[in-house]
Homo-oligomer: A and B are copies of this chain.
Amino acid sequence: MNDALAPFQRLEHQRETFPDGLQLDCGAVVAPLVVAYRTHGRLNAARSNAVLVCHALTGDQYVAETHPLTGKPGWWEAVVGPGLPIDTDRYFVICANVLGGCMGSSGPPEEMTDAEGRPQGRPWGIDFPSVTIRDMVRAQKRLVDALGITRLMAVVGGSMGGMQVLEWAATFPEMVVAAAPIATATHHSAQNIAFHEVGRAAIHGDPDWMAGRYWEDGRIPAKGLSVARMVAHITYLSEAALGRKFGRKLRGASALTFLEDVFEVESYLRHQGSTFVRRFDANSYLTITRAMDYFDLSAEFGGELGAAFRGTATRFLVASFSSDWLFPTEESRALVRALNAAAANVSFVEIASDKGHDAFLLDEPVFHRALGGFLRGAAERVGA
């Protein structure tokens, strides 16, 4: 393996290894399949209280504990924990790093293997195969099986996590008692694809990207990845949130100075970009944004979204946030219409919030009450 490991590669993770590997939608086989994960709470004797939490594009398995690299709180500590909506006193919570990620699951920074699973002495890098949201879910399914769980009390996630929730409910309906797709959509829109493409173009344009083989020279396409993160970060916030947080406030100056980087929002964004490159791999970013762009649940079911859920016994909570312009409420409504057409049991709530897409990660009491109540209902149904 290359000595020039990025910070996120020096970590040890809790992992499950599946020697037979996984065949992906693109046809390639990743063998062995490795799934890094964390759990919280205790699985009850009936194995009926498992809640799978699916993370978003730049999230990981450290959902409810201090992140081993950044030292920051877990990404959903507002939601997952004792007495919280995803109550670790009652439920057994599982969160796995997605396939294609960079926190220990099979993905570009991990050691490449050949078709027989023999290590190749170098990272996959750009040669890691294309993955889909369905591939991510199949990898999670292997983990859930290995944990001896035949039915998940709930699958919950926001943004790309919500895409996985939908794919779980469509692909393994008998395993999913309750599903909560949050701030998400059944497909990625042209605008969303376009923003991702800007980020990818920035990475591709960075000479340190080295056509994806940056590991060979111990480099990181930090500038390109940073720009990708900056543009994505804007899409996660509402105009109102940016305006309230920064407005036109100047940095360390009371009047216009005609210097670079004069506005606070600029230094904030640059900070977001520069810290991101320490914890995320560029090839993983390319792989996962592609997976999101490919996602089109309707296309998987012959162009008819309702067919994805026909006859389902899964109960759904669909939640959107009013100021989310990346995954607007209208896209959640379209999902709800399809679920209704399939005669599914579905609750829908649009949360009034001016915090944009990121609201699903933040302190939103109305959302938390809705999710908590939904999960208690699921627990009652399965006697957990």
Contacts and interface: CB of A to CB of B under 8 A. Distances in A.
Contacts of A25: 258
Nearest to A256: B294
Given A198-B269, A205-B206, A207-B207, A191 B231 contact: no
Contacts of A273: 201
Contact of A197 (B26, B195, B269): B269
Contacts of A194: 230, 234, 242, 265-266, 269
B234 A198 contact: yes
Interface string A173-193: 000000000000001111101
A198 B231 contact: yes
Interface stretch (A158-166, A243-251, A358-366): A243-251
A189 B240 CA distance: 10
Contact of A26 (B239, B258, B270, B290): B258
Interface residues on A, range: 35 or more
Contact of A223 (B205, B234, B294): B205
Residue among A194, A234, A269 having the largest count of chain B Cβ atoms under 10 Å: A194
A325 interface: yes
Chain copies in the assembled complex: 2
Contacts of A290: 258
Interface in A24-52: 25-26
Contact of A226 (B205, B237, B245, B258): B205
A167 interface: no
Contacts of A276: none
A296 interface: yes
Contacts of A325: 239, 325
A201 B188 contact: no
A265 B197 contact: yes
A113 interface: no
A193 B266 contact: yes
A197 B230 contact: yes
Nearest to A190: B242
A234 B191 contact: yes
Residue among A197, A243, A256 having the largest count of chain B Cβ atoms under 10 Å: A197
Given A198-B234, A227-B202, A258-B130, A187 B248 contact: yes
22 contacts: A25-B258, A130-B258, A188-B248, A189-B239, A189-B243, A190-B243, A190-B247, A191-B242, A193-B266, A194-B230, A194-B266, A195-B231, A197-B263, A197-B270, A198-B198, A198-B234, A201-B223, A205-B206, A207-B207, A248-B296, A256-B294, A258-B290
Given A198-B269, A201-B223, A202-B202, 13 more contacts: A189-B242, A190-B239, A190-B247, A190-B265, A191-B239, A194-B234, A195-B231, A195-B234, A197-B266, A201-B269, A201-B270, A258-B290, A263-B293
**In the A-B complex, the 5 residue pairs with the closest CB atoms:** A205-B223, A130-B258, A190-B242, A191-B239, A26-B258
